[in-house]
Structure formats: structure tokens, C-alpha cells
């Protein structure tokens, strides 16, 4: 069902996750790229990001346990295992070849007015929608049971809304202040017996941690981490089965980023880096392989409603499913290097 309050709060948390990482560390929040780096060359910052994602369970459990994503059980048969690995491979190859997924291209790329990201989004979104229609012709999903139209909004209780606002405010405040507090700690002089601490490095790792925390909270609260919720968005234009929640994620995740980037720009260095680490490729670098990769990702996304960020959260909850999907993702990424 359409959840405008929860989805709006979750989308704003996704905005804060990408904004904090960009203007504090100078990095783009790309879930597929970070996941690939975790497998190939993990760093303290990368591990900090995924530790933050894992830590999202605890504040959610304390303040809004009903919004912790509940995943459908997966019977591990040979057929299911091969399908899960295959979908992971599609997503892995597609995101490697097209240099990103929904987080890097949609949340971050569109807000930077990247032509390459616009091409990627304009490719994988309709491909995902078409794939969902072909594979699930009834368009029914578990997110919209019963006879009520899926677009009909439902609202949380006043207590739940207050808890979500409190959780969001505390998380954003921590993400904005804790890394800066760490960076403000005086570094011991080189003449001291103790080796000087690299406070900037620690602050960057803290930023990664809180960005991962905000990112995961945003996915859980908006329920974009739930495969059926995403699949119901792909049921458009069938109004009976269409859940427009994802449209709010696009609007309230991308638009605030766009406004902030237009206001701040990239002339002033980020807080904990000498310069921004932004993609250098432009629209001129778009080729057939890039579009094919975006389309492959769209197929994988449309088949299951799961992209790399939500896949990480599901892997925490269902490790066997996660090991299968991640294996396919890793193999797909390796094939993308060929």
C-alpha cells in the first residue's frame, strides 16, 4: 500500500546519506561500487559504511520495529539457488558495465545533472518495469493484499510518526556532528612519544559509518528494501496494483540533493578531503556496452525488486540467500572487467 509518511521520511534520510558522504568526504554514494570494493580491496572506510548499514537494525528495533523489513522465506532448492545466483550475476555485470545502480545514478547522478546517469536511469527503469510485467503478468504483489487499490494511502499512528521523526532527527544530527567532533580533536605533536592519530582518516570512516546508517534506515523506513514494495511500483499503469511510493523516493531523495548541489557547488573542498572524487566520464562516454549494462541491471531489478543496497540488508537477514546473490554479483562484476 502507498505509505506517504514513512516513504517521505525514508527518502529524506537517503538524501542525507548521500549529501553527508558527498560534502564531508567528497565521495559519491554508490552501493554497487562500494560492495564491489568490499569484495576486492576492502578499506576501513568501506567497512565502516557497511558496518553502519548493519547497525541500522538497533535504532529501528528500539523506535520503530514494525519497519524492519520482513523478507519472504526462500526455500533453498537447486532451481532457486541457480536463479538467485543468476539474478545477482545480471545485477553485478550490469552495474559494473554501466558504472552504477539506483543510488549512484539515480540519487547522486541525476542530482548532479549527469547526462550519463540520466541515460542509465532512462534505461534501467523502463526495462525493470517491462521485465516485471512479463514475468508477473497478474501484477499482484504481497505489498498490496486484498481488494483495496494499491495506490490508496495508509498513514501511521501519531506515536509511530513521532518515533520516526525522532529517529531521523537523531541520526541526521549524529551524522552531521560526530565526524566533525572527531576531526576537531587536537592531533598530538610529532615530537610526542605517542604516534599522532590521523583524525581526518577517523573522521572519514565515521562519515562512512553514519552514511551507511542513514542509507539503511532510509531503505527500511521507506520500505524500498522490501522486494514486493518495489515490484508493486513496477506494476504501473495498473492502478489496482500500483504503489506510487517509489515516486516519492525519487522526488524527495533526488530533488533535495539537486537543490543542495546547486546551492553549494563543488568549489569549496569537502570537510575531510582536499577535493571531491567525482566521476569524470561524460555523456560522450556513453556507448552500447554502457546501455546494455544498464538494461541488464534493469532486468535483474525487475525480476526480484532487489538492487545492491537492499540486497545487503537482505543478506544480513537471510545469509544463505545473501551468499548466493553476492556470489553471482561478484562473478558478474568480474565478467564486466573482461
So what's the pLDDT on residue 263?
Answer: 94
Read off the pLDDT of residues 207-223 as tens digits, 9 standing for 90 and up.
Answer: 999 999 999 999 999 99
Reference 121, options 291, 285, 238, 236; nearest CA is: 291
User: pTM of the predicted model, to two decimals?
Assistant: 0.93
So what's the pLDDT on residue 192?
Answer: 44
Name residue, grid cell 523502463. 126
Average pLDDT over residues 137-157: 84
Read off the pLDDT of residues 232-251 as tens digits, 9 standing for 90 and up.
Answer: 999 988 878 899 998 999 89
So what's the pLDDT on residue 195?
Answer: 35
Read off the pLDDT of residues 156-165 as tens digits, 9 standing for 90 and up.
Answer: 999 999 999 9
* 99 φ, ψ (degrees, to nearest 5): 60, 40
Q: Are 24 and 218 in contact (CB under 8 A)?
A: no
Confidence of residue 74 (pLDDT cuts 50, 70, 90): confident
So what's the pLDDT on residue 145?
Answer: 74
So what's the pLDDT on residue 191?
Answer: 41
Residues 6 or more apart whose CB falls under 8 angstroms from that of 187 comprise 196, 197, 198, 199
Q: How far apart are CA 229 and CA 2, in angstroms?
A: 9
Average pLDDT over residues 160-181: 95
Confidence of residue 199 (pLDDT cuts 50, 70, 90): confident
C-alpha cell read off for 155: 498513514
Average pLDDT over residues 76-87: 94
Least confident range of 175-179, 192-196, 255-259, 292-296 = 192-196
**Across all residues in the chain, what is the average pLDDT?**
91
Amino acid at each position: 500500500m502507498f505509505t506517504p509518511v514513512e516513504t517521505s521520511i525514508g527518502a529524506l534520510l537517503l538524501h542525507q546519506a548521500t549529501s553527508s558522504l558527498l560534502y564531508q568526504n567528497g565521495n559519491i554514494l554508490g552501493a554497487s561500487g562500494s560492495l564491489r570494493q568490499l569484495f576486492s580491496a576492502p578499506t576501513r572506510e568501506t567497512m565502516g559504511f557497511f558496518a553502519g548499514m548493519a547497525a541500522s537494525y538497533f535504532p529501528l528495533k528500539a523506535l520503530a520495529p514494525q519497519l524492519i523489513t520482513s523478507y519472504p522465506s526462500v526455500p533453498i532448492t537447486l532451481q532457486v539457488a541457480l536463479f538467485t545466483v543468476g539474478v545477482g550475476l545480471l545485477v553485478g555485470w550490469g552495474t559494473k558495465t554501466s558504472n552504477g545502480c539506483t543510488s549512484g545514478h539515480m540519487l547522486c547522478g541525476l542530482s548532479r545533472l549527469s547526462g550519463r546517469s540520466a541515460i542509465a536511469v532512462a534505461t534501467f527503469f523502463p526495462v525493470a518495469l517491462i521485465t516485471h510485467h512479463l514475468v508477473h503478468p497478474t501484477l499482484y504483489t504481497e505489498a498490496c493484499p486484498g481488494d483495496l487499490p494499491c495506490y490508496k494511502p495508509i498513514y501511521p499512528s501519531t506515536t509511530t510518526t513521532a518515533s520516526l521523526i525522532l529517529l531521523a532527527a537523531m541520526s541526521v544530527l549524529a551524522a552531521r556532528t560526530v565526524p566533525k567532533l572527531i576531526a576537531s580533536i587536537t592531533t598530538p605533536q610529532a615530537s610526542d612519544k605517542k604516534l599522532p592519530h590521523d583524525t581526518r582518516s577517523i573522521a572519514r570512516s565515521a562519515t562512512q559509518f553514519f552514511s551507511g546508517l542513514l542509507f539503511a534506515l532510509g531503505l527500511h523506513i521507506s520500505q524500498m528494501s522490501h522486494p514486493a514494495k518495489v515490484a508493486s511500483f513496477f506494476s504501473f499503469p495498473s492502478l489496482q496494483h500500483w504503489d506510487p511510493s517509489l515516486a516519492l523516493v525519487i522526488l524527495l531523495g533526488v530533488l533535495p540533493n539537486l537543490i543542495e548541489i546547486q546551492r553549494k557547488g563543488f568549489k569549496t573542498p569537502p570537510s575531510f578531503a582536499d577535493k571531491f572524487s567525482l566521476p569524470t566520464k561524460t555523456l560522450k562516454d556513453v556507448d552500447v556496452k554502457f546501455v546494455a549494462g544498464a538494461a541488464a541491471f534493469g532486468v535483474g531489478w525487475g525480476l526480484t525488486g532487489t538492487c545492491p543496497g537492499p540486497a545487503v540488508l537482505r543478506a544480513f537477514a537471510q545469509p544463505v540467500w545473501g551468499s548466493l546473490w553476492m556470489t553471482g554479483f561478484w562473478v558478474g562484476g568480474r565478467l564486466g572487467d573482461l
